[in-house]
Amino acid sequence: MTRRSEPFLVAAVQASPVFLNRDATVERACSLIAEAASKGARLVVFPEGYLPGYPFWVWFIPSGNTRELRVLYAELLDNSVSVPDASTERLCAAAREAEVTVAMGINERNSEASGATLYNSLLFIGPEGDVLGCHRKLVPTVGERIVHGQGDGSTLQVHDSPVGRVSGLICWENYMPLARYALYAGGAQIHVAPTWDRGEPWLSTLRHIGKEGRVYVIGCCSAMLRDDVPDDLGFKEEFLPSGMEWINPGGSAIVDPDGKWVTEPVMESQEILYGEIDPGLMQGPRFQLDVAGHYGRPDIFQLTIDRSPRPMVRDAPPAADEAIEPDYN
């Protein structure tokens, strides 16, 4: 695949979804993809759980309030996506029309099994409109565990694209050093980190990953107002303080392979952030530090990754015929 040798732009979409409305959020995402592409972006990154919205209520509603949590889970499930389905096909078409690579946080149904469990996933789409991969978050963070299931190692991959080799981990997965190392060893050059987290120490983590992995890092967070939550969702009045303006103020940012800001964090603003990527910095700094290369010590430390898919149901192989022919000799 031909890669760009000249500097190019990437984009972090710090926006709110049309909360819990899959179809409207898909259309908003397609419009934002087109807008970012019109400004010259070749890689467009969306926040964690952007489609159809991060289930932030897990941080506001006590886990014992099963009545409200059931209602919200059913709404989220009804508006989530399978890969592939009509929603992902629409996103793929938008990426193809704009000729950009897209990384988008989604709530993904386990369509391969019950269809009633959700994963916190990161969908990668190439500029030709093909699905490059879909990573399921390995460990949902604290309250997320009442909404999302656990992914497996099969989706821990680095994806080739015209802008370079792109990897991604979701929010606090980025605190998992072995997961990061697996992606460094896969040749990651641009690392995307969609998140709901913001401020410190998260922003220091983005800079650390850039320096440690010698990768560009695109941190992308939703900027969401209380007014972005529909009034017909009952938990809004009961659990979101009336004086609250920002549910999440954002804090998206872009970091270079030296751990320096390309685009500094932006707070309390719904906008698209842009940053310039210099392909020369994807390789040059590694002469000093390449943690999955000359700065590694495989004679001392080794990482074993099980990338086997872990389906909920496995069909056993047909039983071998155990009949033994009698020996009359």
Q: Where are the domains of the chain?
A: 8-287
Q: Is the pLDDT of residue 297 over 80?
A: yes
Active site positions, annotated: 48, 137, 171
- Given a contact cutoff of 8 angstroms between Cβ atoms, the answer to whether 210 and 216 are in contact is yes
pLDDT reported for residue 323: 53
**How many helices (H) and strands (E) would you count in the chain?**
6, 13
- Given a contact cutoff of 8 angstroms between Cβ atoms, the answer to whether 217 and 103 are in contact is no
pLDDT reported for residue 298: 92
Taking only the tens place, the pLDDT of each residue in 59-85 is 999 989 999 999 999 999 999 999 999
pLDDT reported for residue 163: 97
Going by pLDDT thresholds of 50, 70 and 90, the confidence category of residue 7 is very high
Helix (H) or strand (E) holding 252, with range, is: strand 246-255
The amino acid at residue 76 is L
Question: 132 is written with which tokens?
Answer: 């490059």
Mean pLDDT, rounded, of the chain: 94
pLDDT reported for residue 283: 87
Its pTM stands at: 0.93
Q: Determine how β-strand 164-168 pairs with β-strand 190-195.
A: parallel
Polymer length of the chain: 329
CATH number of 8-287: 3.60.110.10
Q: Determine how β-strand 223-225 pairs with β-strand 216-221.
A: unpaired
